[in-house]
């Protein structure tokens, strides 16, 4: 289901506007990985999950934003084991340019650098936790 959605979204954009592939992939990756909490609208859930739409934090220093997603912070989970540099850059580029947000794109190399700086190397997840 998720896969079908992603493929459909990608195909649509490829037909329409080739340079926007990264943008569209960012949207489907966002819906897949982030929307349960931050919502497809980017508005979050008041009192629980912060809004990304109109957020000064999200549109601010990309290094801090990248580190927050990689390592987690203030209750936000860590995604270092789940998202590749390419995926995370596509998601952040989408988030920083959607719902009225107007901040610069994030490149995979930026994420790679942030990952190295934040010691957020992806590790395999254990089979069991608690």
Partner 1 sequence: MSLVLSGMEALGYGIASATERPPELTGGAKNTKIVILGAGLAGMTAAYELSKAGYQVQVLEARAFAGGRCQTARKGFKHTDLIGHEQTCDFDDGLYINVGPWRIPYHHRSTLHYTKAFGVPLESFVNDNDAAYVYFEKGAGPLAGKPVRKGEIAADIRGYTAELVAKAASAGALDAPLTGLDREKFIAYLVNEGRLSKDLAYKGTEGRGFSVNPGAGVNPGPGKELPPYAFKDVLDSGAWKVLSSVTGYEQQRTMLQPAGGMDQIAKAFEKRVGPMIRYGAVVQKIKQSPSGVTVAFKDADGKPGEVTADYCLCTIPLSVLKQIDLDASAPFKAAMSGVAYAPVNKIGLQMKTRFWEEKHHIYGGHIYTDLAGINSISLPSTGWQGEKGVLLGYYAFGGEAAKISAKTPAERAAFAVAAGQKVFPEYADNFEKAFSFSWHLAEYNLGGWAEWGETGRKDSYPILCEPDGRLYLAGEHLSYLGGWQAGAIESAWQQIGKIHARVSKA
Residues forming contacts to partner 1 in the complex (CB under 8 A) are 1-2, 31-37, 39, 45, 47-49, 71-79, 81-83, 119, 125-130
| 124 CB burial (10 A radius; 0-12, 13-18, 19+) | exposed
Residues 75, 68: contact at Cβ < 8 Å?
no
Give the nearest distance from C-beta 35 to partner 1 in angstroms: 5
By C-beta, is 102 or 119 nearer to partner 1?
119
By C-beta, is 102 or 123 nearer to partner 1?
123
By C-beta, is 50 or 108 nearer to partner 1?
50
Dig out the tokens for 95 from the structure: 């988030």
Q: Residue 20 carries which DSSP code? A: G
Give the nearest distance from C-beta 17 to partner 1 in angstroms: 27
Give the nearest distance from C-beta 105 to partner 1 in angstroms: 22
Q: Cα–Cα distance between 93 and 23 in angstroms, integer? A: 7
């Amino acid at each position: 289901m998720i896969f079908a959605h992603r493929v459909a979204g990608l195909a649509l954009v490829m037909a329409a506007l080739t340079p926007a592939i990264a943008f569209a992939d960012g949207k489907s990756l966002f819906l897949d990985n982030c929307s349960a909490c931050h919502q497809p609208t980017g508005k979050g859930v008041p009192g629980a999950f912060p809004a990304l739409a109109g957020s000064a934090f999200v549109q601010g220093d990309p290094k801090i934003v990248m580190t927050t997603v990689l390592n987690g912070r203030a209750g936000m989970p860590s995604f270092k084991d789940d998202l590749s540099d390419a995926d995370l850059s596509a998601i952040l580029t989408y988030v920083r340019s959607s719902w009225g947000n107007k901040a610069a794109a994030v490149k995979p190399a930026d994420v790679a650098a942030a990952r190295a700086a934040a010691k957020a190397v992806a590790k395999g997840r254990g089979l069991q936790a608690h």
